[in-house]
Amino acid sequence: MTAAVLELRDVTRHYGGKRQWLGRGAAIRAVDGVDLTLAAGEVLGIVGESGSGKSTLGRIAAGIEAPSSGMVTFQGQRYAPIDTAAWRRQRRRVQVVFQNPSQALDPRLTIAAQIRGVLAAHGIEALERGVDRTEAILSRVGLTGLGTRFPHQLSGGQLQRAVIARALVLSPEVIVCDEAVSALDVSVQAQILNLLKDLQAELGVAYLFISHDLGVVRHVSHRIAVMQRGRIVETGPASEVFARPQDPYTRSLIAALPAATPAARRARDAARQAA
Amino acid sequence: MMPSFVPTSGAGSAGASTVLPFGADRAADAMPPVLSLEGLTVGSDAVDLVIDASLTVAPGETLCLVGESGCGKSLTCLAAMGLLAEPVRRKAGRIRFLGRDLGELDERDLRQMRGRDMTMIFQDPVASLNPVQRVGWQVAEALVIHEGLSSKVAARRAVELVDKVGIADPEARAGAFPHQLSGGMCQRVMIAMALACRPRLIVSDEATTALDVTTQAQILTLMRRLQEETGTAMIFVTHDLSVVAEIADRVAVMYSGRIVETGSVDDIFDHPSHPYTQGLMDCRLHALSATDGRLAAIGGTVPRPSARPLGCAFRTRCPRASQRCAITPDLRPIGSSQRVACHFPGRAQ
Ligand SMILES: Nc1ncnc2c1ncn2[C@@H]1O[C@H](COP(=O)(O)OP(=O)(O)OP(=O)(O)O)[C@@H](O)[C@H]1O
Ligand SMILES: Nc1ncnc2c1ncn2[C@@H]1O[C@H](COP(=O)(O)OP(=O)(O)O)[C@@H](O)[C@H]1O
Ligand code: SF4
Ligand SMILES: [Mg+2]
Ligand SMILES: [Mg+2]
């Protein structure tokens, strides 16, 4: 097995004391005793229903949020305390791509200016062997010539490409993708999934790929972890988890999936009727 | 005993003079479509947003409207419900509901029809419900307004409906406010409201899109079962083709304001004939089917309504486009139940 790039050991995150409509202030265990290993160049999918703790886990893995307890190591080193210089150096290696690209970008700056800004912030030269890094990454994600546009001048799919470019220009080892294609239309989602897959194969970057869409996760992931109420109830190779789910919760998720075709629906309904 | 969620004053005064008893003359005209759109064009002065759309829904039938965001699904639904608001309006065509031309009805008649004969369920149930009113009362209100029931009787019916849509402990839940219920429960309440007066048509606009798969599965099963019981016609908007496989009898595919293909659900899945429908089918992902490598994505993006190419709007993305496509293709029959708007329909060689 290849070396682990990211490791989580017994990670827990509580959110406590908040007022709620039922009862008051019982702590929420958003993430509850999670062990997880992401190998270099691996795509690990995280699935689970709304509120199961996927995004919280993603933020902790990316080092944006500290766990309440447990340990996160990136390339064998614990994350430095948030907002220190050492932390910023580590953050360069672990990037995030969220669901809503228009919120992730600065509406007042062109796409190219934002990418140049990120390079400058990390002290990286604008040129690499005479080639403009910004232009190169923009054309790599399919935005050739669009660097001079402002975010409002781009479509949702183009914006997500810009966010991916901004993450990639720092040559990260890991990208945490949290519902990165969920807000996109099917045809655009397919384009972005192709791009993410190509980049992964080409650059060997690892993804922690979070999505509530099991079909999308199966398509991109090598391995899958299923989350329920803050815990990981099952992990395994993507095809295994869907073909032979072991945990009852995973089975209930799969049983609830809408049928792929009307014929599959009729076959399923007939089988259920017979049972 | 009056259930506790009934407001004590100011409710239930609306008149309901022309109410028919349940099922009375409603089964008699079962054959003609419940709703038909004939050459409907919707837009503002500047731009057409739905163009020349024709479709029908029969009693007991579910028509799925599919297509990517901005293609005009919601506007088509709003037009069918007589709910378009300035600056968008019906620019051409006719909407017939139970044989009556909606364009000839005044707002009072329309309001009476909505909630009684036709109801709509939206994507965000929490936003559609009144946050400061108990959900049971929101279900009961339609019965008071449209069926002329007393608050007391309506409230009891409301609890039955809340029970029927699968909410446990209906008496207590009927007394809850929307924020005290989960998203899935709120959507069930919306369905209970929609069903209250046994409408002839339910329009559901992305009603399960925001729900988890398990909740979505329950809601889809519920809607199918209730529809079988009541024979209600349904327009079901979704962009998820596996939801279509689950619930549709017939499908209309929209692209950039136009209906580009219609057919039975089997037609659309077994032999999609418009290049756009084929493209959508090719980039489907399902957790139970293995995929390798790259998806056959449709290149490019949907044009804005103000910047559609001349002729077929799919021309800028279509692998089959040729000179002829500068002329807008009509929606023409191919086979017995399928129609397609393309100069070169069928599978590409
Ligand atoms: N900052 C916070 N303060 C308090 N509670 C929080 C916070 N962030 C998350 N939670 C709670 O933690 C739990 C897990 O939330 P999280 O956002 O990680 O779920 P998720 O799996 O990403 O859900 P979704 O699929 O809806 O995005 C939920 O109960 C949520 O309400
Ligand atoms: N009130 C409105 N005023 C102007 N344009 C609108 C309005 N509502 C919708 N549109 C435009 O009409 C087109 C179709 O919208 P809509 O029916 O909401 O699409 P869908 O539901 O398929 O996503 C889009 O281009 C949208 O921007
Ligand atoms: S009419 Fe032409 S451009 Fe339009 S879908 Fe058919 S082949 Fe493609
Ligand atoms: Mg999340
Ligand atoms: Mg819509």
pLDDT of res. B20:
35
Weakest-pLDDT range from A33-37, A117-121, B20-24: B20-24
Q: Answer whether residue B167 is part of any domain.
A: yes
Nearest atom (ligand 1) to Cα of A59 = 18
Strands B201-205 and B233-237: parallel
Distances (CA, A) of A138 to A40, A159, A183, B55, B104: 25, 11, 21, 43, 55
pLDDT of res. B12:
39
What rounded mean pLDDT belongs to chain B? 89
pLDDT of res. B25:
40
Q: Is the pLDDT of residue A186 over 50?
A: yes
Rounded distance, CA B216 to CA B251, Å?
Answer: 20
Q: Is the pLDDT of residue A59 over 90?
A: yes
pLDDT of res. B210:
81
Residue B149 distance to chain A (closest CA, Å) = 33
**Cα B325 to ligand 3 centroid, rounded to whole Å:** 6
Q: Are residues B100 and B213 in the same domain?
A: yes
**Cα B206 to ligand 5 centroid, rounded to whole Å:** 7
Domains: count for chain B = 2
Q: Are residues A173 and A275 in the same domain?
A: no
What is the domain range of residue B158?
Answer: 35-248
Tens of pLDDT, residues B120-134: 998 888 888 999 999
- A116 and A136 in contact (C-beta within 8 Å)? no
**Cα A30 to ligand 1 centroid, rounded to whole Å:** 6
**A194–B295 C-beta distance less than 8 A:** yes
* Least CB–CB distance from A262: residue in B220, B265, B293: B265
Tens of pLDDT, residues A96-108: 999 888 889 999 9
Domain's final residue, options B194, B213, B248: B248
Nearest CA in chain A to B303: A155
Q: Are residues A48 and A139 in the same domain?
A: yes
Nearest ligand (C-alpha, residue B321): 3
For the entire predicted model, the pTM comes to 0.89
Q: Are residues A56 and A103 in the same domain?
A: yes
Where residue A16 falls among pLDDT bands split at 50, 70, 90?
confident
Q: Are residues B226 and B259 in the same domain?
A: no
Q: Are residues B277 and B183 in the same domain?
A: no
Q: Are residues A117 and A234 in the same domain?
A: yes
**B245–A259 C-beta distance less than 8 A:** yes
DSSP, res A40: T
The pLDDT > 70 percentage for chain B reads 91
**Which of chain A's residues have a Cβ under 8 Å away from the Cβ of B69?**
185
Domains: count for chain A = 2
- Whichever domain contains B227, its CATH number is 3.40.50.300
Which residues lie closer than 8 Å to A182 by C-beta, 6 or more apart? A99, A211, A212, A213, A216
pLDDT of res. B8:
53
Q: Are residues B209 and B289 in the same domain?
A: no
Rounded distance, CA B292 to CA A16, Å?
Answer: 43
What Rg value do the Cα atoms of chain A yield, rounded? 20
Q: Are residues B73 and B191 in the same domain?
A: yes
Q: Are residues B234 and B257 in the same domain?
A: no
Q: Are residues A254 and A146 in the same domain?
A: no
Q: Answer whether residue B348 is part of any domain.
A: no
Mutate to test the pocket of ligand 2, among B50, B64, B75 (most ligand atoms within 8 A of CB): B75
**Which of chain A's residues have a Cβ under 8 Å away from the Cβ of B266?**
262-263
Q: Give SS3 for B111.
A: helix
Rounded distance, CA A6 to CA A62, Å?
Answer: 9
Q: Is A245 in the pocket of ligand 1 (CB under 6 A)?
A: no
**Which of chain A's residues have a Cβ under 8 Å away from the Cβ of B206?**
none
**Cα B68 to ligand 5 centroid, rounded to whole Å:** 9
Nearest CA to ligand 1 atom 7: A15
Overall residue count recorded for chain A in this entry = 275
pLDDT of res. A102:
86
Rounded distance, CA A90 to CA A80, Å?
Answer: 8
**A252–B297 C-beta distance less than 8 A:** no
pLDDT of res. B18:
37
In degrees and rounded to multiples of 5, residue A116 shows phi and psi of -60, -40
What is the domain range of residue A22?
Answer: 4-238
Q: Are residues B180 and B323 in the same domain?
A: no
Q: Are residues A87 and A148 in the same domain?
A: yes
